[in-house]
């Protein structure tokens, strides 16, 4: 396969130059251990290898499946499973075979699960304002003591200010990030350990309190993050084929990139040179800026609003240089 015209659509494309620029920009901003890339954003070990080549040796995962895939790819030197897990036997088996996997815990039950499943290292997950997982900051010290009593090594604390990633203006995002990290640092004072792990693409340059940042979306980017003026380019697009056109001044076109190819929780995708009306199961309906400029059989690039769930819907990423296909990378960390 040599050109994108030979691809079956919808297909997930990654512009090679934009990707390399994104990796280099982030490596300059957060070199080495200052960044623990989150693989949930791309679910691809080939891309993770590029991140390792940029100097980042540790990685963040969201699922046990991602951890297993990273270990199988030889990337299991220092993995953080930044999620609560109650059945930890698969993680314990990886640890017993020599992988280093640190697990997030936020309750008596998750501490017990980690100890009983063979996990050796944990971080205390702390709620810093996002109503999701994480214990109250004042409970972190007690959980750390319990974990150590169960024979676990407590590496430090974790807190995700995910509710702040899209806050505008940036000055307000910075102020709120500081408030969130004050909570995490207070917990860390009670917990100890070398890690204060937090952050994401939207706060990567603002969060100077964490010892490491868990950004992931920066590598491929999406249109939601693209509104923030971050120094990263849109590398990911979905290639679609126009399958229907309705003419006239109020005309529209339809391409084969619908809900089953896109993460839609951040809104509609974008098509350059057109206004997207809506998405349905198999279709995106859009109005070209220039009526009559689109024909059946044309290829269009569709830019997703949320990279993580979009990539998870595809079996492969195609690394491209404009219209030329360079490589096919399996999205091998999909599934549970």
Q: Which residues are 81's β-sheet partners?
A: 61, 103
pLDDT less than 70: residues of the chain: 1, 249
Rounded Cα distance, 243 and 282, in Å: 11
Residue 250: per-residue pLDDT? 74
Rounded Cα distance, 193 and 101, in Å: 16
| DSSP assigned state of 34 | G
- Distance from the first to the final alpha carbon of the chain: 30
Q: What is the pTM of this model?
A: 0.95
Residue 54: per-residue pLDDT? 98
CA distances from 238 to 139, 160, 212, 274 (A): 44, 29, 31, 15
Contacts of 21 (CB under 8 A, 6+ apart): 233
The first and second tokens of residue 50, run together, are 């590029």
Place of tokens 């004042």: 138
Contacts of 240 (CB under 8 A, 6+ apart): 9, 10, 255, 256, 257, 284, 299, 300, 301, 302
Domains of the chain: 4-11+232-330 (2.40.37.20), 16-219 (3.20.20.10)
Residue 1: per-residue pLDDT? 59
**Greatest CA separation for the chain:** 73
89-96 helix and 108-117 helix, angle to the nearest 10 degrees: 40
Average pLDDT, the chain: 97
């Amino acid at each position: 396969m040599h050109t994108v015209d030979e691809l079956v659509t919808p297909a997930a494309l990654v512009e090679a130059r934009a990707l390399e620029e994104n990796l280099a920009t982030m490596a300059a901003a957060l070199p080495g251990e200052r960044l623990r890339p989150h693989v949930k954003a791309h679910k691809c070990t080939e891309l993770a290898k590029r991140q390792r080549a940029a100097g980042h040796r540790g990685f963040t995962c969201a699922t046990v499946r991602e951890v297993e895939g990273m270990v199988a790819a030889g990337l299991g030197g220092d993995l953080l499973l930044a999620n609560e897990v109650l059945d930890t036997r698969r993680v314990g088996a990886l640890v017993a075979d020599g992988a280093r996997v640190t697990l997030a815990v936020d309750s008596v039950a998750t501490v017990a699960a980690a100890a009983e499943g063979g996990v050796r290292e944990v971080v205390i997950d702390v709620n810093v304002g996002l109503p999701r997982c994480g214990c109250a900051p004042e409970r972190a010290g007690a959980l750390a003591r319990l974990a150590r009593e169960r024979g676990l090594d407590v590496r430090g604390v974790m807190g995700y200010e995910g509710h702040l990633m899209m806050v505008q203006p940036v000055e307000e995002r910075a102020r709120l990030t500081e408030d969130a990290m004050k909570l995490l640092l207070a917990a860390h004072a009670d917990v100890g350990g070398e890690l204060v792990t937090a952050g994401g693409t939207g706060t990567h340059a603002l969060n100077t309190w964490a010892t490491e940042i868990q950004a992931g979306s920066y590598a491929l980017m999406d249109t939601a993050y693209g509104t923030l003026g971050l120094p990263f380019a849109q590398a990911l697009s979905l290639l679609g084929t126009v399958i229907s056109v309705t003419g006239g001044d109020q005309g529209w076109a339809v391409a084969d990139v619908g809900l089953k190819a896109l993460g839609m929780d951040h809104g509609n995708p974008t098509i350059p040179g057109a206004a997207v009306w809506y998405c349905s199961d198999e279709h995106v309906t859009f109005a070209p800026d220039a009526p009559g400029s689109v024909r059946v059989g044309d290829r269009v690039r569709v830019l997703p609003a949320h990279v993580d769930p979009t990539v998870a819907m595809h079996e492969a990423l195609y690394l491209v240089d404009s219209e030329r296909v360079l490589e096919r990378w399996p999205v091998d960390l999909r599934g549970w």
